[in-house]
Amino acid sequence: MKIAVISDTHLGFSEKNARKDEALNNALEAFSLAIENNADLILLPGDVFDSKIPSLETWSKVFYLFNLSRKAKKPEIKILQEGRELDFDGIPVIAIHGTHEIRTKDFRNPLEVLQSAGFLFYIHANYLIAEKDSEKVAIHGFGGVPEQKALDVLKVYNPQPLPDTKNIFLMHQSIKEFLPTDDEMAVTISMSNLPKDFDLVINGHLHWFAEKLFEGGRLLMPGSTIVTQMKKFESEKQKGIVLINSLTMLTAFLPLSKQRKLFYEKISFNEAFPDEILSKFREKIQSFLSENSSDLIPLIRIRLKGTLAKGLTQADVDLQKVLQEFEGKAIFSIQKDFSSDSFKKKIQELRELHKTKKSVSALGIELLVKNLSETAFDSAFDVRRFFELLAEEDVDKAIAFLEKKEEK
């Protein structure tokens, strides 16, 4: 059978600015590519939505999108759960939730809503079997969990491939080898922790395409269909979908025809004056604009760093005039990093906050987890669940939960 993988569509991303239609347009093309290429099954490895509680504007687009697969010609395929055949229209879609869609067990995530509406099958820590022409493929799913708990949860789940069946494992986490960091809690899963003896492990979350062998298996990262955080790796790879031939497990990458380009550059200076910086900055933007081959205006991310001539501060380097010259010609993300050491840490923290664009509640949980870790409470209770109960104003349940009156 032919299996299409479409990852990290981030529907609802930037819905209030110039990029508001990009996530949907890219997802529409991704679904169309899957349908035109006669996919028998579509897999979504998480972050289908950009937010765990999408707006009604996003929902209305999402229903339009999922009608593409639902109204497509139904392939000769069966989807089975514990031996029982499941009902669906069109091309079946199997999804896991990503880190953007995590909700605690009291609340439904948006993929469960799509499942209730009959648009897809949602799995988490279980599997479904796809069957076509006497060929069976088991799709195992492990939805995104907070990174610091990911390895522990994966060990408890301990997924096993089924015999006499092809086995695909869907997951949505960071992997150490792809995101080197000094923060041990930021990434807990390494390649060596990936489940073994599956025909293919598919990971969402990391937004650039990659394929890699590891001891006991093969990893596929389809990458996202849209640039969200402007990472350097994303400027080097195209966005698209992956088609898998389940007989051979060979994969093919199909790029989206319309995609916004991302240009990324770090420019270093040594005891520089503002004029020199501004002229290099302007030159770089001009050269990126001339390289752009897409109909869409590009994303340009430039990091200016190094040292300034004596007596100058970061405030003396005013980039506004140059940026105004190029207004409407690109979407910019510019970092000035000429700060002295004493300011560096604080600025870095603010920048990280800004970059991750986390919701207020996600930041709240992180702060709470961080502060608790420095007290005797540490991990005495499930902070995320408690916070979410409070955020939804389910105070009685939150108190019961703290008093442990509630059954676990």
* Smallest distance from Mn ion to CB 172, Å: 8
Amino acid at 115: Q
* Smallest distance from Mn ion to CB 146, Å: 14
The reply to whether 8 sits near Mn ion by the rule CB under 5 A is: yes
Q: Which is nearer to Mn ion, 49 or 338 (CB)?
A: 49
* DSSP string across 323-366: HHHTTTT-EEEEEEE---HHHHHHHHHHHHHHHHT--HHHHHHH
Q: Which is nearer to Mn ion, 8 or 22 (CB)?
A: 8
* DSSP string across 31-96: HHHHHHTT-SEEEEES-SBSSSS--HHHHHHHHHHHHHHHTSPPPS-EEEETTEEPP-SSS-EEEE
* Smallest distance from Mn ion to CB 225, Å: 10
Q: Mark 201-240 with x for binding to Mn ion (rule: CB under 5 A) and - for no binding.
A: ----------------------------------------
Size of the site for Mn ion (CB under 5 A): 2
**Structure tokens of 342?**
């004493």
Q: Is the Cβ–Cβ distance between 144 and 99 less than 8 Å?
A: yes
* DSSP string across 179-215: S--S-TTT----GGGSPSS-SEEEE-SS-S-EEEEET
Residues 311-340 that bind Mn ion (CB under 5 A): none
* Smallest distance from Mn ion to CB 173, Å: 11
* Smallest distance from Mn ion to CB 363, Å: 18
Q: Which is nearer to Mn ion, 97 or 301 (CB)?
A: 97
Q: Which is nearer to Mn ion, 22 or 47 (CB)?
A: 47
Q: Is the Cβ–Cβ distance between 187 and 219 less than 8 Å?
A: no
Q: CA 407, CA 373: separation in Å to the nearest integer?
A: 25
Q: Which is nearer to Mn ion, 103 or 336 (CB)?
A: 103
Q: Taking contact as CB under 5 A, which single stretch among the options 43-51, 55-63, 376-384, 385-393 is the one that binds Mn ion?
A: 43-51
The reply to whether 101 sits near Mn ion by the rule CB under 5 A is: no
Sign of the alpha-carbon torsion through 324, 329, 333, 337: negative
The reply to whether 47 sits near Mn ion by the rule CB under 5 A is: yes
Q: CA 68, CA 281: separation in Å to the nearest integer?
A: 44
Q: Taking contact as CB under 5 A, which single stretch among the options 39-47, 111-119, 175-183, 250-258 is the one that binds Mn ion?
A: 39-47
Q: Which is nearer to Mn ion, 29 or 47 (CB)?
A: 47
* Smallest distance from Mn ion to CB 48, Å: 10
The reply to whether 147 sits near Mn ion by the rule CB under 5 A is: no
Q: Taking contact as CB under 5 A, which single stretch among the options 44-52, 291-299, 336-344, 392-400 is the one that binds Mn ion?
A: 44-52
Strand order in the sheet with 240-245: 121-122, 93-96, 41-45, 2-5, 240-245, 250-255
* DSSP string across 219-274: EEE--BSS-SS--HHHHHS--EEEEEETTTTEEEEEE-SS---EEEEEEEEEEE-H
* Smallest distance from Mn ion to CB 145, Å: 14
Q: Mark 270-309 with x for binding to Mn ion (rule: CB under 5 A) and - for no binding.
A: ----------------------------------------
Give the residue at shortest CB distance from Mn ion. Answer: 47
Q: Which is nearer to Mn ion, 71 or 232 (CB)?
A: 232
Q: Which is nearer to Mn ion, 171 or 308 (CB)?
A: 171
Start-to-end CA distance of the chain, whole Å, equals 42
Which residues of this chain interact with Mn ion, rule CB under 5 A?
A: 8, 47
